[in-house]
Copies of this chain bind each other. A is one copy, B any other.
Amino acid sequence: MPSKKNQEGITAKKNENFSEWYTQVVQKCELADLRYNVKGFLVFQPWSVLSMEKMYRHMEKNLQKKGHKPYWFPTVIPKSNFEKESSHVKGFTPEVFWITKGGNTKLEEPLALRPTSETAFYQMFNLWIRSYKDLPFKTYQRAQVFRYETKATRPFLRGREFHWIETHCVHATIEDAMKQVKEDMQTNKEILHDIYGLPFIFFQRPEWDKFAGAYRTFASDVLNPDGKVIQQPSTHIISPSFAKAFNITYKDKDGKEKPAYTTCYGPAISRIFASVVIVHGDDKGLKFPWEIAPIQVMIIPIDIENKEIMKKAESIKKQIEGFADVSLDSTEKRAGEKFNHWEMKGVPIRIDIGLNDIKKKKTTIFRRDLDKKEVINEKDLMKKINQISKEFTKNLIKKADKIFEGRIKKAKSLGEIKKAIEQGLIAKCNFCSVNKEGISCAEKIEKETGAQIRGTKLDEKSLVSGKCVICGRKANEIVYVARSY
Q: Which residues of A contact B (CB under 8 A)?
A: 1, 3, 33, 35-38, 41-46, 49-50, 52-53, 69-78, 81, 93-105, 110-111, 113, 120, 123-124, 127-130, 134, 137, 144, 146, 148, 150, 161, 163
In the complex, chain B residues whose CB is within 8 Å of the CB of A74: 36, 38, 41-43, 161
Does A148 contact B43, Cβ atoms closer than 8 Å? no
Query: Across the interface, do A38 and B71 meet the contact criterion of CB distance under 8 Å?
Result: no
Closest to A104 in B: B94
Main secondary structure of the interface of A (DSSP, over half): mixed
Query: Who on chain B is nearest to A60 by CB?
Result: B53
Question: Which single residue of chain B is at the shortest CB-CB distance from A128?
Answer: B1
Instruction: Point out the residues of chain B lying under 8 angstroms from A137, CB to CB.
Output: 1
Please tell me if the beta carbons of A37 and B81 are within 8 angstroms of each other in the complex. Answer: yes
Given contacts A1-B129, A99-B97, A103-B94, contact A49 B72 (CB under 8 A): yes
A134 close to B1 (CB less than 8 A):
yes
* A139 to chain B: closest residue by CB: B46
State the oligomeric state as a number of copies.
Answer: 2
Provide the bound-state CA to CA distance between A37 and B43, in Å.
31
The answer to whether B111 touches A43, judged by C-beta atoms less than 8 angstroms apart, is no
**Measured between C-beta atoms, what is the minimum distance from A112 to chain B in Å?**
10
Q: Cα distance A52–B72 when bound, in Å?
A: 10
Known contacts: A74-B36, A76-B38, A137-B1. The answer to whether A148 contacts B103 by CB under 8 A is yes
The one of B35, B75, B104, B129 in contact with A161, judged by C-beta atoms closer than 8 angstroms, is B75
With a cutoff of 8 Å between Cβ atoms, the chain B residues found around residue A144 in the complex are 75
- Docked Cα-Cα span, A144 to B113, in Å, equals 13
Q: If the complex has contacts A1-B129, A44-B71, are A101 and B100 also in contact, measured as CB distance less than 8 A? A: yes
Nearest CB in chain B: distance from A94 CB, A: 4
Would B70 and A50 count as touching, CB distance under 8 A?
A: yes
A35 touching B127, Cβ below 8 Å: yes
CA distance A446 to B301 in the complex (A): 61
Name the CB-closest residue of B to A105: B148
Known: A98-B100, A129-B1. A41 touches B76 (CB 8 A): yes
User: What is the bound-complex CA distance between A113 and B150, given in angstroms?
Assistant: 20
Residue of chain B at shortest CB distance from A102: B148
How far, in angstroms, from A160 to B266 measured CA to CA in the complex?
Answer: 26
Q: Is there an interface contact between A71 and B46, defined as CB atoms closer than 8 Å?
A: yes
Known: A49-B70, A78-B38. A99 touches B96 (CB 8 A): no
Shortest C-beta distance, A55 to chain B (Å), equals 13
In whole angstroms, what is the CA distance A52 to B150 when docked?
36
Query: How far is the CB of A374 from the nearest CB of chain B, in Å?
Result: 30
- Per the bound structure, the CA–CA distance linking A18 and B126 in Å amounts to 31
Task: Say how far A84's CB is from chain B's closest CB, in angstroms.
Answer: 12
Q: 12 A-B Cβ contacts within 8 A?
A: A33-B128, A37-B81, A37-B123, A38-B74, A38-B111, A43-B71, A49-B71, A75-B144, A76-B161, A94-B104, A95-B103, A97-B111
Known contacts A43-B124, A101-B110; can you find 9 more A-B pairs with CB under 8 A?
A: A33-B128, A36-B124, A49-B71, A53-B70, A74-B161, A94-B104, A97-B101, A99-B99, A102-B148
Select one of B44, B72, B113 contacting A99, CB under 8 A. Answer: B113
Q: How far is the CB of A44 from chain B (nearest CB, A)?
A: 4
Name the contact of A101 in the complex, choosing from B38, B49, B98, B161 (C-beta under 8 A).
Answer: B98
Residues from chain B with Cβ under 8 Å of A102 in the complex: 96-98, 148
